[in-house]
Amino acid sequence: MTKYVLRRIAASIPVLLLASVLVFLLVREFGADPARVRCQNSRDIECRRRAREELGLNDSLPVQYVSFMGDFLQGDWGESQRTGRSVGESIRGDLWETSQLAFWGVLFSGGVALAVGVYSASRPYSRGDYMFTGLAFAGIAMPTFWFGLLTIQYLTFELQNLFGSTEPIFYSIPNPVATGPVEYFRELALPVLVLSVQLVAGWSRYQRSSMLEELNRDYIRTARAKGLPRRTVIWKHGLRNSLSALVTVVALDVGALFGGLIITERVFSRPGMGTLLLSAVNNGDTQIVLPWMLVVGAIIIVFNLLADVAYGLLDPRVRMT
């Protein structure tokens, strides 16, 4: 087991390195010219030349890559060109903000998806199953940013008008002075709901099909035949054995969430990894973009590894060597 994990870690280092080359190429060669972005509002003709010099853009790409990676690996991630804040520090702070959102989102979505999946699988092709199938289709087709704005319209403003209260029940932006668990909930409820729509839609379909497969197996029929109540069979035998597939998918998606909450954070004006990247891209703060990409890429790879390990732990048929 330890050996397997170590081997997988060793195997993911070249992947991460190659991914860093790809990301570097995409950002530097296909992204906007940092010098150009930096001098957007400048009338100074010399500005771009000076910026190129300062940012080291005159070197060839391989030289730039090596010098960047050298600094990066030594922990020297540089400072933001706009705010002068240390990039490492901003990423650490924003990672914490995003983790909170991701944590509650995954907990909520996982619970709902599990319940829906088990319900649908235990009553396949029933009216309820068809309804959840329809809802899953709707969730997948739902544009996240639009759904976010709708929740603000209806659950923040209209709900407030309905009760005629002086302040909204669910906040549409973080409340910097609020403290305590109740305030925390009021602040996180809408973003968590919004980020959960697509997750629940995908995961519940997943749980449904993996559980359906499990419930058609012989041991389930045996369990029913020997007189175990339906409930026990579904919740104890079927659920436990179908869970490993869901856990794997969840782990994979969680990794992607760290770089994928851009829209949710933007709509609800929350600080986090998404907001950090968005402002860096909009302001030409190129110093942040590459470390951001590498950190998110590393998180994705770590969660891929966790997914495989979890799968092995939950399913004894899988031998990890």
The stretch near other proteins (CB under 8 A) out of 47-55, 84-92, 203-211, 219-227 is 203-211
Q: How many amino acids of this chain bind other proteins (CB under 8 A)? A: 75
Task: Say which residue the tokens 């470390």 belong to.
Answer: 291
* Local structure of 199: helix, strand or coil: helix
Q: How many CB atoms lie within 10 A of CB 47?
A: 16
Q: How many CB atoms lie within 10 A of CB 43?
A: 6
C-alpha 206/C-alpha 246 separation (Å) is 7
Output 228 or 249, the one with its CB closest to other proteins: 249
Rounded CA Rg of the chain: 24
The stretch near other proteins (CB under 8 A) out of 84-92, 115-123, 195-203, 230-238 is 195-203
Output 80 or 248, the one with its CB closest to other proteins: 248
Output 79 or 213, the one with its CB closest to other proteins: 213
Closest CA to 251 of 313, 190, 182: 313
Q: Exactly one of 12, 64, 99, 100 binds other proteins (CB under 8 A); which one? A: 12
DSSP annotation of 109? H
Strand positions, DSSP E, 79-150: none
Output 233 or 306, the one with its CB closest to other proteins: 306
Instruction: Determine contact, residues 111/121, Cβ cutoff 8 Å.
Output: no
Output 228 or 283, the one with its CB closest to other proteins: 283
Instruction: Map the footprint of other proteins across residues 237-296, applying CB under 8 A.
Output: 245, 248-249, 252-253, 255-256, 259-260, 262-263, 266, 277-278, 281-282, 289, 292-293, 296
Classify residue 227 as exposed, middle or buried by CB count within 10 Å of its CB (0-12, 13-18, 19+).
Answer: exposed
Instruction: Map the footprint of other proteins across residues 107-166, applying CB under 8 A.
Output: 137-138, 140-146, 149-150, 152-153, 156-157
Output 233 or 251, the one with its CB closest to other proteins: 251
Instruction: Map the footprint of other proteins across residues 13-72, applying CB under 8 A.
Output: 15-16, 18-19, 22-23, 26-27, 29-33, 36
